[in-house]
């Protein structure tokens, strides 16, 4: 009997190990990738959120506004250090494994782009602010983000092989070191400049570890100055590179412009809400990454196969987005008050506007991905260009008049316009049909199941509970409603 128990335990262990480490079937591979990415993103973003919330509490809205302004400014330029290489590497390597021999040249190109980006940030930092304290924070964070970005090209290689478990472990390590260093500094030497040093220290330690692990475990890192490979990949990646640039503009330009206009405290309030809604984007980022290799492979197969996989991907996104938005709007006041002190009350309305924006981004994500895997990345470029220009113009008009609320409204209008453009482009330039019966049924079901959730969490007995309990109860009601609808009416939504 004892041997039987040991055998059964061993068999269960082998099955779990196979489920989480091997690539066997499409559904199992998607589950495995999603599990590891969810673990990594969930833990790392949660740790970072706790750190930034604590920083806001300790330093106050004004100093927090200075730090987020510097970070947003750096983020506007650091995207040039990648310039779409990661997504193209995933797409090309997942389709043809033999292309991995080109990785040394891609890595070298990454090094050169990073050096150029760092120089660009340092030069422009003198133009954006005359405050020497903020300038120094910008310089340190520039080095931090450029060093940290080296991990992305490594993760692209691992994603192409669908070995996300290694990426997950690396991201968790990175988050633990960064958050540990950040808390040590804030508790002992609280200032935004010292906080930036902790970011830099963490990036150096973790990037060295990641590069060494990859070098000895997967692929020998070396420099290769093959200009033909650089040209080939840049010709494919430049649309996605500018997509990322313009996407970063409409995500970060509001913070930069508020800082430029001298609205530092307002920037702190704005980013208090923005950081929370950014964390709410984690699920769609996970789904995007998990489905990327699978959709790329499906694209090489039949049109029906691609549509089926895309519908499954879109369905998962929609079922998360709808209750997220409805629940976020209903509980906005409690969410802000839970994470911050009463001085951050101006963040409540901003949170409500931005959580709606987050929901729209959920709907955009599968449309954008359909264009990328269909080799229509140039359409992504033009859409994000329109979005970035629209956002800049709206910010110039609305921020001077309405401050942080104007910035939030500008972002909402921008992503709404982009949703329309993405839908038209996907329908016209890909074989994917985004507005089919299955997708419409998913949207209808998500809204229908969100109704009892909304009424439940809006009632005082549940609303007045601890926010975590309110969210848990609301999620349970939504899930039960969906299961009843899906099973009782025998709907196959996802």
Residue that is written with structure tokens 């976020």 in the block: 328
Q: Count of alpha carbons within 13 Å of 418, Cβ hemisphere only?
A: 35
Lowest average pLDDT, out of 39-43, 90-94, 147-151, 394-398, goes to 39-43
Span 228-255, average pLDDT:
76
CA nearest to 117, candidates 312, 26, 226, 248: 248
CA nearest to 54, candidates 232, 198, 182: 182
What are the sequence ranges of the domains in the chain?
A: 25-435
Span 276-301, average pLDDT:
78
Query: What pLDDT is recorded for position 121?
Result: 87
Rounded distance between C-alpha atoms, residue 429 and residue 421, angstroms: 12
Lowest average pLDDT, out of 208-212, 250-254, 350-354, 468-472, goes to 250-254
List CB contacts of 274: < 8 A, sequence separation 6 or more. Answer: 255, 350, 354
| Alpha-carbon distance values, 58 to 51, 211, 229, 393 (Å) | 10, 35, 49, 34
The answer to whether 202 and 177 are in contact (CB under 8 A) is yes
Span 369-398, average pLDDT:
85
Query: What pLDDT is recorded for position 14?
Result: 54
> Residue 380 above 90 pLDDT?
no
CB count in 10 Å sphere of residue 400 = 12
76: left (phi over 0), alpha (psi -120 to 50) or beta: alpha
How buried is 54 (Cβ within 10 angstroms: 0-12 exposed, 13-18 middle, 19+ buried)?
middle
How buried is 176 (Cβ within 10 angstroms: 0-12 exposed, 13-18 middle, 19+ buried)?
middle
Tell me the angle at which helices 150-160 and 103-128 cross, rounded to the nearest 10 degrees. Answer: 140
Query: What pLDDT is recorded for position 286?
Result: 74
Rounded distance between C-alpha atoms, residue 1 and residue 4, angstroms: 5
- Secondary structure string (H, E, C) spanning the chain: CHHHHHHHHHHHHHHHHHHHHCCCCHHHHHHHHHHHHHHHHHHHHHHHHHHHHHHHHHHHHHHHHHHHHHHHHHHHHHHHHCCCHHHHHHHHHHHCHHHHHHHHHHHHHHHHHHHHHHHHHHHHHHHHCCCHHHHHHHHHHHHHHHHHCHHHHHHHHHHHCCCHHHHHHHHHHHHHHHHHHHHHHHHHCCCHHHHHHHHHHHHHHHHHHHHHHHHHHCCCCCCCCCHHHHHHHHHHHHHHHHHHHHHHHHHHHHHHHHHHCCCHHHHHHHHHHHHHHHHCCHHHHHHHHHHHHHHHHHHCCCHHHHHHHHHHHHHHHHHHHHHHHHHHHHCHHHHHHHHCCHHHCCHHHHHHHHHHHHHHHHHHHHHHHHHHHCCCHHHHHHHHHHHHHHHHHHHHHHHHHHHHHHHHHHHHHHHHHHHHHHHHHHHHHCCCCCCCHHHHHHHHHHHHHHHHHHHHHHCHHHHCCCHHHHHHHHHHHHHHHHHHHHHHCCCCCC
> Residue 398 above 90 pLDDT?
yes
* Chain segment 421-465, per-residue pLDDT in tens: 999 999 888 888 888 888 888 888 899 999 999 999 999 888 888
Residue that is written with structure tokens 């004892």 in the block: 2
* Chain segment 58-94, per-residue pLDDT in tens: 888 888 888 888 888 888 777 777 777 777 777 777 7
CB count in 10 Å sphere of residue 415 = 24
Query: What pLDDT is recorded for position 125?
Result: 84
Tell me the angle at which helices 103-128 and 26-78 cross, rounded to the nearest 10 degrees. Answer: 40
Query: What pLDDT is recorded for position 388?
Result: 84
CA nearest to 199, candidates 334, 326, 55: 55
Classify each residue of 266-301 as buried b or exposed e, where b means 16 or more C-beta atoms within 10 Å of its C-beta.
bbbbbbbbbbbbbbbbbbbbbbbbbbbbbbbbbbee
Rounded distance between C-alpha atoms, residue 430 and residue 437, angstroms: 18
> Residue 23 above 70 pLDDT?
no
Mean pLDDT, the chain, rounded, equals: 82
> Residue 7 above 60 pLDDT?
no
Q: Which two tokens stand for residue 395?
A: 């910010």
pLDDT band, very low/low/confident/very high, at 131 (cuts 50, 70, 90): confident
């Amino acid at each position: 009997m004892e041997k039987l128990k040991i055998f059964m335990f061993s068999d269960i262990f082998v099955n779990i190990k196979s489920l989480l480490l091997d690539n066997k079937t499409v559904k199992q591979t998607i589950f495995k990738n999603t599990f590891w990415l969810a673990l990594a993103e969930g833990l790392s973003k949660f740790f970072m959120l706790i750190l930034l919330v604590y920083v806001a509490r300790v330093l106050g809205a004004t100093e927090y506004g200075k730090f987020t302004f510097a970070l947003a400014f750096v983020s506007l330029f650091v995207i040039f250090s990648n310039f779409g290489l990661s997504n193209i590497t995933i797409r090309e390597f997942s389709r043809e494994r033999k292309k991995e021999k080109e990785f040394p040249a891609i890595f070298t190109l990454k090094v050169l782009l990073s050096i150029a980006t760092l120089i660009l940030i340092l030069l422009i930092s003198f133009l954006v602010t005359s405050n020497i304290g903020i300038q120094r924070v910008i310089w340190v964070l520039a080095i931090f983000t450029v060093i940290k970005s080296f991990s992305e090209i490594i993760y692209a290689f691992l994603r192409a092989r669908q070995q996300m478990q290694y990426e997950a472990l690396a991201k968790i390590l990175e988050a633990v070191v960064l958050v540990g260093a950040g808390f040590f500094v804030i508790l002992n030497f609280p200032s935004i400049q010292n906080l930036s040093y902790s970011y830099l220290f963490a990036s150096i330690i973790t990037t060295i570890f990641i590069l060494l692990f990859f070098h000895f475990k997967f692929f020998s890192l070396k420099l290769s100055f093959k200009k033909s490979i650089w040209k080939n990949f840049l010709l494919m990646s430049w649309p996605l590179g500018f997509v990322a640039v313009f996407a970063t503009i409409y995500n970060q330009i509001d913070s930069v412009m508020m800082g430029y206009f001298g609205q530092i405290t307002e920037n702190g309030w704005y980013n208090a809400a923005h950081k929370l809604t950014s964390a709410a984007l984690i699920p769609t980022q996970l789904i995007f990454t998990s489905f990327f290799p699978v959709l790329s492979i499906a694209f090489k197969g039949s049109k029906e196969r691609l549509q089926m996989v895309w519908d499954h991907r879109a369905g998962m996104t929609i079922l998360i987005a709808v209750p997220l938005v409805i629940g976020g709007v209903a509980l906005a006041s409690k969410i802000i008050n839970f994470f911050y002190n009463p001085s951050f009350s101006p963040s409540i309305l901003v949170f409500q506007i931005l959580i709606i924006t987050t929901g729209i981004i959920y709907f955009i994500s599968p449309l954008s991905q359909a264009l990328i895997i269909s080799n229509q990345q140039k359409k992504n470029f033009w859409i994000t260009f329109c979005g970035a220009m629209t956002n800049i113009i709206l910010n110039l008009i609305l921020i001077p008049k309405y401050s942080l609320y104007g910035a939030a409204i500008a972002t909402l209008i921008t992503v709404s316009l982009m949703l329309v453009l993405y839908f038209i482009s996907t329908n016209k330039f890909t074989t994917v049909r985004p507005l089919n019966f299955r997708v419409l049924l998913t949207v209808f079901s998500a809204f229908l199941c969100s109704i009892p959730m909304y009424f439940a969490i809006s009632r005082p007995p549940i609303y007045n509970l601890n926010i975590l309990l309110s969210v848990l109860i609301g999620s349970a009601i939504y899930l039960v409603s969906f299961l009843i609808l899906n099973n009782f009416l025998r709907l196959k939504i996802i």
